[in-house]
Amino acid sequence: MSRTTRSVATALVVLILVAALAFIYASPYIALNRVKRAADARDAQTVNQYVDFPALRASLKEQVGALLTRRVDIQKSGNPLAIIGAMIGAALVGPLVDSYATPDGVAAILNGIPPRGDPGEQPPQAGSGSPAAPSNAPASGVTTAQPAPKEPPQTTAGYRSLNTFVVTYRHGAGDAQYSAIFHRYGLVSWKLVAVDLNG
């Protein structure tokens, strides 16, 4: 093998290695783009490839439960009716979590509309700014539409660790932020596994 051939082969190997490393680094950004497009299109089959729904459901239950607990703690010295309302809201965590652990819910989370912990809350559905009541909604019609934000949220995304990728959403300088958390599965596969409603 001539020196020129060896140089070309070495350069080719280095080029392939650099391209592979770049693809591995970019893989969570690619996954985020794909799951967001699939969720916006309500393509459940593709969303299922990029979301660990049992893990997301557990995270939502914990986060919304903590949100309601904080709300009750704040209202303890206030109006007793507000405390009762917060406690009723806590009883409705299950349906709220179930509504957000869906392609509609994933689309809402990835578009800057996280759950707020309001009783009967539903994420916006495809093609509407507000959701229709689900088929299992109570007859009283207590479902509440989660309003779409007036402006897209400011987002930042990056690695938290080698196997954790976080997308943080904020609507304004003084507004609360929240995060969508992805975990690596294998070398280049990523899935949405959790939300952090505290940012």
Residue 124 structural domain: 29-196
> Could you tell me if residue 102 is inside a domain?
yes
> Could you tell me if residue 134 is inside a domain?
yes
Q: Give the CA dihedral 136, 142, 143, 148, nearest 10 degrees.
A: 170
Amino acid code (one letter) for 185 = Y
Find all residues with CB under 8 Å of 65, minimum gap 6, and list them.
90, 93
Number of domains in the chain: 1
From CA 79, how far away is CA 57, in angstroms rounded?
31
> Could you tell me if residue 110 is inside a domain?
yes
From CA 99, how far away is CA 122, in angstroms rounded?
6
User: Which pLDDT band holds residue 153 (cuts at 50, 70, 90)?
Assistant: confident
What is this structure's pTM?
0.77
From CA 143, how far away is CA 55, in angstroms rounded?
25
Q: Is 136's pLDDT higher than 60?
A: no
Pairing of strands 177-185, 189-196: antiparallel
Give the lowest-confidence range in 79-88, 120-129, 184-193: 79-88
> Could you tell me if residue 130 is inside a domain?
yes
Q: Residue 102 corresponds to which tokens in the numbers above?
A: 């869906």
Q: Are 179 and 196 in contact (CB under 8 A)?
A: yes
> Could you tell me if residue 10 is inside a domain?
no
> Could you tell me if residue 11 is inside a domain?
no
Q: Residue 6 corresponds to which tokens in the numbers above?
A: 């060896």
Report pLDDT for 117: 76
> Could you tell me if residue 2 is inside a domain?
no
Q: Residue 90 corresponds to which tokens in the numbers above?
A: 């806590």
Backbone phi, psi, residue 193, to 5°: -125, -15
Q: Are 182 and 165 in contact (CB under 8 A)?
A: yes
Report pLDDT for 116: 83
Q: Is 23's pLDDT higher than 90?
A: yes
Alpha carbon of residue 79 to chain centroid? 33
